[in-house]
Amino acid sequence: MSSPARYSVLSRKPIDEVGEEDGHGSGLKKSLGLWQLTAIGVGGIIGVGIFTLAGVVARGDAVNPAVGPAVVISFLIAGLASAAAALSYAEFAGMIPRAGSAYTYGYVALGEIVGWFIGWDLLLEYTAIVSVVAIGISGYFSAFLGGIGIELPAALAYAHTPETPDGIINLPAILTCLLVTWILSRGSKSFGRFELVAVGLKILVVLAIIGIGIFHIHTENFVPFMPNGFEPAMAGAATVFFAVFGYDAMSTAAEEAVDGKKHMPKAILLSLAIAMALYVLATLVLTGMQKYTEINPQSAFASAFDSVGMPTIATIISAFAVVSILTVMLTFMLGVTRVWFSMSRDGLLPAWFAKTDRKRGVPLRVTWIAGIASALLAGVFPIRLVADLTNIGILAAFVVVCAAVIVLRKTRPDTPRTFRIPFMPVVPIFGLLASGFLMLQLHWDTWVRFGGWLIIGLIVYWFYGRKNSMLNPNSPRRLALRERQEVG
């Protein structure tokens, strides 16, 4: 292991040392092929964004004006910004197929302090995403139970909000988080198989929604198309951005890919293209079937089919939505555990977290910690609050990745790349500016929460991370590793 000439918070992780073992049993098993990787990406993108957030943004609430049928524009804006970032991720994934995603890319290109902040940011954001999706599943689960004549008490079905004043705790969301944690703990091979089957089912469900719903569109529901002007559609894009970045978490699985350099770029671009085509069609069907003012944001498509006299289809959709949205939770739970694993392996967090189970090859400790944390968030917070908190963090990661890919083209032009961004540097600059713009559309209180989390992260880094970093020649873990190597 080489040492930087002079260690500082701006020291960069050498590309050839990314994923290097530290002697603490931190090895991940390679078992994922192209279609399993693509399934993980599609599984992370298509889910609560289409089944829940489309209805939330279209209808609006007491704080956020209704976007109406123009929610399709919100998705297109978010998708365009996401596509530019996706190309940046694809270039990095083909060059550095290692766990960690934006954390690793920022560490290599921009230095340790930038990598730390993005990694710390993603620990919260990915955990929050799992919680948002669990809340979305809960709404459809309640709709499914209602369709078969069972009413779950409001106190156990919802968190307390102005819209659900009788709610206390979202029990279905909590149980779903724990179920997903258990599935992920079984190992990446089992998880990959489950994801492939579940994503296939999910695509069939969305195609069925579009295929059936298109015959029940009433064009008068599209009027007014933009009831409150263009500004709410832009703010809506910042919220639904949550729905178009599953490939980000999928890239954290690069180290478990059989041929990461070849398959990761393809999987990233395939998953986003498939998802955006389905999003545009589904949102048009949703707002064409039911007037945006009457959509139930908790279970939008079930509500739409109920409105056209098809309650049985609504019940079936609710049941399959629960199963298909699980894949989003699995993808992002995978993301938080692999980022946490990578930061621990690099010495920025305790080595205890990087320990993997020898039989299954997964970091069980961080998997269960993240699962319990997401369950607590899902149980007590409303969906839009958690979604906005999630989006600001992912948008920040996109800004860093778009900047990092430009820097690395300049500093490491000869490093082999299996994919190169076209129209460099125009595409990543657009992605950087678009992501930054969408961040500015979020509410000020989201920025306050985000800033508070980063301040806590700075304290942790200053008193632990920089002292124990594997790039620090005086790090206790680095010295211990060197001693083991000399003895061996």
Model confidence band, residue 26 (pLDDT cutoffs 50, 70, 90): very low
Residue keyed to tokens 């270039």: 91
Question: What pLDDT digit, counting tens, does each position of 204-222 carry?
Answer: 888 888 999 999 999 999 9
pLDDT at 136 over 80: no
Any idea which residue has 């969408």 for tokens? 438
- DSSP label at 359? T
| Residue 25 confidence (pLDDT) | 42
The percent of residues in the chain predicted with pLDDT above 90, rounded, is: 26
CA 176, distance to chain mean position in Å, is 17
Q: Is 32 helix (H, G, I), strand (E, B) or coil?
A: strand
Rounded CA separation 293/133 (Å): 23
Instruction: Return mean pLDDT, the chain.
Output: 84
Structure tokens at 7: 């260690």
**CA gyration radius for the chain?**
22
When pLDDT is cut at 50, 70 and 90, the band that residue 263 belongs to is: confident
Residue 160 confidence (pLDDT) above 70: no
Cβ proximity of 90 and 267 under 8 Å: no
Q: Is the pLDDT of residue 335 over 80?
A: yes
User: Six-digit token pair at 310?
Assistant: 């098809």
CA dihedral 10, 13, 19, 22 (to 10 degrees): -70
Q: Residue 24: its pLDDT value, please?
A: 46
User: What is the per-residue pLDDT for 23?
Assistant: 46
Q: How many CB atoms lie within 10 A of CB 301?
A: 30
What is the pLDDT, as a whole number, of residue 374? 92
Looking at residue 357, its amino acid is D
Find the helix or strand (DSSP H, E) in which 391 lies.
helix 383-411
What DSSP line would sit under 224-259, residue for residue?
SSSTT-HHHHHHHHHHHGGGG-HHHHHGGGGGGBTT
Positive or negative, the CA dihedral 74, 289, 326, 135 is: positive
pLDDT of 153: 84
Tell me the C-alpha to C-alpha distance, in Å, between residue 152 and each of 179, 285, 320, 383: 19, 29, 19, 19
The pLDDT, as a whole number, for residue 403 is 92
> Number of helices and strands (H, E) in the chain?
20, 0
Alpha-carbon span 89 to 398, nearest angstrom? 9
pLDDT band at 54 (very low <50, low <70, confident <90, very high): confident
**Least confident segment among 61-70, 105-114, 350-359:** 350-359
- Say if CB 278 and CB 46 are below 8 A apart: yes
Task: Tell me the sheet residues that pair with 32.
Answer: 257
Which carries the bigger pLDDT value, residue 245 or residue 1?
Answer: 245
- Cβ pair 30, 258 in contact under 8 A: yes
Contact 130/336 with Cβ under 8 angstroms?
yes
**Whole-prediction pTM:** 0.77
Residues 314, 53: Cα–Cα separation, whole Å: 17
Determine which of 79-88, 96-105, 279-288, 427-436 has the lowest per-residue pLDDT on average.
Answer: 96-105
20: pLDDT confidence band, cut at 50, 70 and 90? low
For the segment 35-45, the average pLDDT, to the nearest whole number, is: 80
Using pLDDT thresholds of 50, 70 and 90, give the confidence band for residue 349: very high
* Per-residue pLDDT, 481: 75
Who wins on pLDDT, 362 or 310?
A: 310
Specify the pLDDT at position 409: 92
